[in-house]
Amino acid sequence: MTQNSENLPYEPELSEEVVSRSKGLRTGFTTGSVTAAAAKAAVLNLLTKTLPKSVTIVLPNGSDAEFEVLAPNPEVIESARYLLKTQVFGSATVIKDAGDDPDCTHGAQITVIAEETELLKGKPPTIEIIAGPGIGTVTLEGLGIEVGKPSITKVPLRMINQSVRDVNKDKSFLLTVTVPGGIEMAAKTTNDRLGIVGGISILGTTGIVKPFSTAAYRASVVQQINVAHVQGLDQVVLVTGYRTENFAFQKWPNINKLSVVEVGDFTGVALKKATSLGFKYITFVGMGGKIAKLADGIMMTHYKRSNVNTELLFKLAQTTGAPDTIRSAARKTNTARHFVETCVNLNFVDPLNLLCQLAAENCRKYSGSKAEVKVYMTDFEGKTELANSNINKDAD
């Protein structure tokens, strides 16, 4: 039941110039980090009546990052004034630097307006965040964010809360986040298709942007695999990012760290390189969305390049005799997340195992690999194994 097996997408070979590039991979910061910094500065402005020139926040990996702080454009404040609850507020702007990644939000002027709100009797102090102009609001299930809430994922939310609490632990605050031009930026993403309306999303899992979208990052993937080969290793574990990397080290605690390669969206590049160097074992660790694309024969898994094939998910549900609830979930949104979560919640993961098997088969066919290829699906926190391509062969 292989999808697209006769016409797999082509991933162009890297030029010699790109392959040889080993330096200059300048990292940047996620919208989540920038928003956390702006929130901290805005609360400081509210409480002290002065605007700091810079603020330092703690990234998820425990390291510190310093951000320059600017006074917001008065027009930006006016555009969000209708959302404010009081006439007393603090505000701050931090500009996103995405490093060498040509992210559509590079240069975004993320502004936070902070107000103090009333403490509820007998309740702990709270931090509420609302979407101002240019920040998206979630309207569909399947994104892991409550419908009606700003499109801000869990890690940025934690960073924002921590950064504000570093300033003050006893007061309640309302934070209005706004981005001039956010609607135009969002038009370059798939937010509209995913039911995120009104602007960009605030994203990030590590706080740091690695240049996933650049030829330079593609070169870094090749370099990582080359290093593993030179060290005499016979396996590579391809992970898509921070959370799947953590899962890999949890799943295989004794694995040589050089075997674990962060490929971002460049699965095809990594597969071709690992195959050309003769690795015996290739393992891919991902979440539902990227594995669904691999199962559909799409080796470049960036969200802008392709959509999840909901008909494929539906066919898998049918093939495995899944309950009607799972079949319905396959077509409910344009993401795989809702489908995956429904399978897990109903404790019926046969469709997910089959999805992994299809993905593994396509990885082998695409790369021409004679290696043993396995695919593992983790949950969206990177903590729990949900399915794998070898489930009917051994538990591994």
pTM above 0.85, yes or no: no
Q: How far apart are CA 37 and CA 28, in angstroms?
A: 14
Q: What percent of the chain has pLDDT over 70?
A: 86
Least confident of 76-80, 272-276, 381-385, 388-392: 388-392
Amino acid (one-letter) located at 363 = C
Q: Does the pLDDT at position 83 exceed 80?
A: yes
Residue 307 binned pLDDT confidence (cut-offs 50, 70, 90): confident
Q: Does the pLDDT at position 238 exceed 60?
A: yes
Domain spans, the chain:
16-25+211-388, 28-209
- Domain 28-209: homologous superfamily in CATH: CbiD-like (3.30.2110.10)
Q: Does the pLDDT at position 1 exceed 60?
A: no
Residue 4 binned pLDDT confidence (cut-offs 50, 70, 90): very low
Residue 24 binned pLDDT confidence (cut-offs 50, 70, 90): low
Residue 213 binned pLDDT confidence (cut-offs 50, 70, 90): low
Predicted pLDDT of residue 30: 87
Predicted pLDDT of residue 25: 59
Q: Please give, one letter per residue, the 3-state secondary structure of the chain.
A: CCCCCCCCCCCCCCCHHHHHCCCCCCCEECHHHHHHHHHHHHHHHHHHCCCCCEEEEECCCCCEEEEECECCCHHHHHHHHHHCCCCCCEEEEEECCCCCCCCCCCCCEEEEEEEEECCCCCCCCCEEEEECCEECEECCCCCCCCCCCECECHHHHHHHHHHHHCCCCCCEEEEEEECCCHHHHHCCCCCCCCCEECEECECCCCCEECCCCCHHHHHHHHHHHHHHHHCCCCEEEEECCHHHHHHHHHHCCCCCHHHEEECCCCHHHHHHHHHHCCCCEEEEEECHHHHHHHHCCCCCCCCCCCCCCHHHHHHHHHHCCCCHHHHHHHCCCCCCHHHHHHHHHCCCCHHHHHHHHHHHHHHHHHHCCCCEEEEEEECCCCCCEEEECCCCCCCC
Q: What is the mean pLDDT of residues 246-263?
A: 92
Residue 13 binned pLDDT confidence (cut-offs 50, 70, 90): very low
Tokens for 292? 């669904």
Predicted pLDDT of residue 128: 97
Q: Does the pLDDT at position 378 exceed 80?
A: yes
Predicted pLDDT of residue 12: 38
Residue 356 binned pLDDT confidence (cut-offs 50, 70, 90): very high
Predicted pLDDT of residue 102: 62
Q: Does the pLDDT at position 330 exceed 80?
A: yes
Q: What is the mean pLDDT of residues 377-381?
A: 94
Q: Does the pLDDT at position 366 exceed 70?
A: yes
Q: What is the mean pLDDT of residues 109-128?
A: 93
What is the pLDDT of the chain when averaged over all its residues? 87
Q: Does the pLDDT at position 200 exceed 70?
A: yes
Q: How far apart are CA 196 and CA 200, in angstroms?
A: 8
Q: How far apart are CA 385 and CA 396, in angstroms?
A: 12
Q: What is the mean pLDDT of residues 347-369?
A: 94
